[in-house]
C-alpha cells in the first residue's frame, strides 16, 4: 500500500444528502452531481484538507468507524481512490 497521497475538497464545497443508502453529492468546484455509496463519503471526509495515501486512509477509517472484514478495506479503498480521482473528487496532494 502507500502510493500517492490524495486530498479532497473541504466538506463545505461538496454538500450532500443521504437517501436510500446513497449519498447524492454536489461538487461545487466542478458543478457536477455524483451518486456515491459507503465508504466513499467517509473516505472524502477523512482526507478533506488532510492529504493521505491509501494506507493512511484505511487507518483513519478504521479509527473512526466499525470496519467489517479488515483487510478487504485495503482493496476497496485503492479501487475507490482511482475512481474518485478520475471523477475529480480527489486529487493528488
Partner 1 sequence: MKHEARIRVGPIGFRVGSAWPGPVAALNALYDGYPTPRDDIPDFTVRLEPERPWRRWVRPSIAIRGDYVLPEASPLALAHGLLAAELGMNLQMALGQRRYLLLHASSVERDGRALLMTGESGAGKSTLAALLGERGWRLMGDEFALIDPATGLVWAFPRAISLKNQAIDVMASGLPQARFGPVLSGTPKGTIRHLRPDARAIAEMDAPARPALLLFPRYGFAEALRGVGAAEVFVRLTQASTNYVALGESGFNALRNLVEAIPACAIDYPDTASAVSLVERLWAELDG
Q: Are 43 and 80 in contact (CB under 8 A)?
A: yes
Question: Site for partner 1 (CB under 8 A): which residue of 1, 4, 11, 28?
Answer: 28
Query: Which C-beta is closer to partner 1: that of 12 or that of 63?
Result: 12
**Beta carbons within 8 Å of 67's beta carbon, 6+ residues apart:** 61, 73
Distances in Å between the alpha carbon of 53 and those of 14, 24, 59? 21, 25, 10
Question: Site for partner 1 (CB under 8 A): which residue of 2, 12, 19, 86?
Answer: 19
Query: Which C-beta is closer to partner 1: that of 22 or that of 91?
Result: 22
Would you tell me which residues interact with partner 1 (CB under 8 A)? 15, 17, 19-22, 24, 26, 28, 31, 33, 35
Amino acid at each position: 500500500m502507500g502510493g500517492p497521497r490524495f486530498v479532497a475538497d473541504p466538506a463545505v464545497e461538496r454538500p450532500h444528502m443521504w437517501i436510500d443508502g446513497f449519498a447524492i453529492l454536489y461538487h461545487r468546484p466542478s458543478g457536477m452531481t455524483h451518486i456515491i455509496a459507503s465508504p466513499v463519503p467517509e473516505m472524502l471526509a477523512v482526507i478533506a484538507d488532510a492529504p493521505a495515501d491509501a494506507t493512511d486512509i484505511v487507518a483513519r477509517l478504521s479509527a473512526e468507524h466499525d470496519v467489517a472484514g479488515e483487510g478487504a478495506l485495503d482493496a476497496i479503498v485503492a479501487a475507490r481512490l482511482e475512481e474518485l480521482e478520475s471523477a475529480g473528487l480527489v486529487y493528488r496532494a
